[in-house]
Amino acid sequence: MIAFLTYKGILVLVIFIITLAVAAYSTYAERKVAAFLQDRIGPDRAGPFGLLQPLADGAKFFFKEEIIPNVSNKVLFVLGPCIAMLTALMAGVVIPWGNTVFLGGKEYALQIADLNIGILYVFGVVSIGVYGIMIGGWSSNNKFSLLGAIRASAQMISYEIAMGLSIIALILMTGTLSLREITLQQAGGIGSHWNFWNVVYQPLGFIIFLVCAFAECNRTPFDLPECETELVGGYHTEYSSMKLGLYLFSEYINMFISSAVISTLYFGGFNFPFMNNVGLSHNWITVLGSAFFFGKVVFFIFFFMWIRWTIPRFRYDQLMNLGWKILLPLAIFNIALTGLVSLLFSR
C-alpha cells in the first residue's frame, strides 16, 4: 500500500512538472512559430536561442507591481485566476500518459486515476473552468471585463454542447467512458492485431471536437473574449502581476490538455503502428508509446499555434452562429449516423 501511494505521488509530481514545463515552453514555441510564419527571428536574447525566455517572463510576472482595484470584490478577484489554473491542472489526472510498466514484479499504469467515467470527469472539470473566467470578470467591477467574461462564458457553454455531442458518437462506437479502455481499443499491430485509430471511424466527430477545442481554449479564431481590438483586454483587463500570469498560463495548460485528449480519443493515445511486432520488451514498448503520445501532443500544440497565425478571428455573431447553427446540427447528425451504422454492422 505504501509503495502504491509512493508511486502515485511520484506520478502526480512528474505529470505536474511536465504540464507546467510544456505550458511554459509553449509560450516560447508560440513566438518562434509566429516568427517562422512571419519571416522573423523571434526570442533570441534570453539564453542560447532564447531558450530561457519563459523563465524571464515568469520572473517578470512575479516582480511586476500587483494592483487590486479598490472597488473590486477582493476575495473573488483572487479566487478567479486560482479556479482557472486549478481546473486546467485537474483535467490531466485521467489521461493515460502511457501503458503499464513492470517494476519489481508489479505492474504500474502510467495514469494517475483510471476512472470508468473519465470523459465525464474531463467535461465536468472543464465546465467548472468557466467560473474562473466569469468570477474574474465580474469581481473586477469593470464593465469591459464583465462583458468579456459574459462573452467567454457564452462561447464556452455553447461549444461545450457540440463537443459533448461529438463525444456521444464516439461512446456509441467504443461502448465505454474510460479513456484507458478507449486507448487500448486502438492498439496497433499487423494481422489480427490491427486496429485503425478512431479518427478513421469518426472523422466528422473529430473535426467537431477539434473546432470546439479551439473555442474552449479561447484560441484564435475564437479569441473574442480577450482580444484587445474588441474589449480593451477582455475578462482579465484589471489583472496584473502573477494573477494575470495564471490566466495566461491556464490557457496554455488547457491547450496542452486538449491536445492530449484529442490524441487519446482519436489518434490512439500511447499506441503506435506495428507496436506488437517490434520485438521489444513490454517496458520498452511502453516507453516508446509514451514518446509517440507526446509527439502527437506536440503536433496538435503546433497546430493550435499554426491556426492562430493563419486565420483571422470571427465576428461574435459568426462565432455563435457556427456553434449553434452548424456544429450542433452536425454533431446530432453524426450521432444518428453512428447509431445507424452500428445497427447495420451488428446484424
- Give the model's pLDDT for residue 191: 42
**DSSP summary character for residue 315:** P
Q: Inform me whether the pLDDT recorded for 97 exceeds 90.
A: yes
Mean pLDDT in residue range 233-262:
89
Summarised one tens digit per residue, pLDDT across range 201-240 is 899 999 999 999 998 888 888 887 666 555 566 788 888 8
Q: Residue 220 carries which DSSP code?
A: T
Please write the tens of the pLDDT for every residue from 17-52.
999 999 999 999 999 999 998 889 888 888 888 899
Q: Cα-flanking dihedrals φ and ψ of residue 202, to 5°?
A: -130, 60
Instruction: Give the model's pLDDT for residue 279.
Output: 77
pLDDT higher than threshold 80 for residue 160: yes
277 or 197: whose pLDDT is higher?
Answer: 197
Round the average pLDDT of the chain to a whole number and report it: 87
**158 close to 324: Cβ distance less than 8 angstroms:** yes
Instruction: Kindly state the average pLDDT of the residues 58-84.
Output: 89
pTM over 0.85? The answer is: yes
Predicted pLDDT of residue 336: 94
> How confident is the model at residue 104, as a pLDDT?
78
DSSP letter string, 132-171: HHHHHHHHTT-HHHHHHHHHHHHHHHHHHHHHHHHHHHHH
User: Grid coordinates 484529442 are at which residue?
Assistant: 262
For the chain, give the percent of residues with pLDDT over 90: 41
Q: In the structure grid, which three cell numbers stand for residue 26, read together?
A: 509553449
- Are 264 and 183 a contacting pair, CB within 8 Å? yes
What's the pLDDT band for 347 if we cut at 50, 70, 90? low
Query: ω before 221 within 30° of 0 (cis)?
Result: yes
Residue whose entry in the numeric block shows the C-alpha cell 484564435: 220
Q: How confident is the model at residue 105 (pLDDT cuts 50, 70, 90)?
A: confident
Q: Which of 77, 78, 85, 82 is nearest to 23 (CA)?
A: 85
Section 135-151 average pLDDT? 87
- Which residue blocks in the chain are alpha helix, DSSP H? 2-37, 53-63, 74-90, 118-139, 143-174, 179-184, 198-201, 203-216, 228-231, 241-266, 282-308, 316-321, 328-346
d(CA 163, CA 208): 7
Please give the average per-residue pLDDT across 78-82, as a whole number.
91
pLDDT of residue 280: 82
pLDDT computed for residue 96 by the predictor: 93
Condensed to tens digits (0 to 9), the pLDDT of residues 167-192 reads: 999 999 888 999 999 998 888 654 44
111-134, pLDDT tens digit by residue? 898 888 889 999 999 888 889 889
Please tell me the distance from the alpha carbon of residue 201 to that of residue 198, in angstroms, as a whole number: 5
Angle between helices 241-266 and 74-90 (to 10 degrees): 30
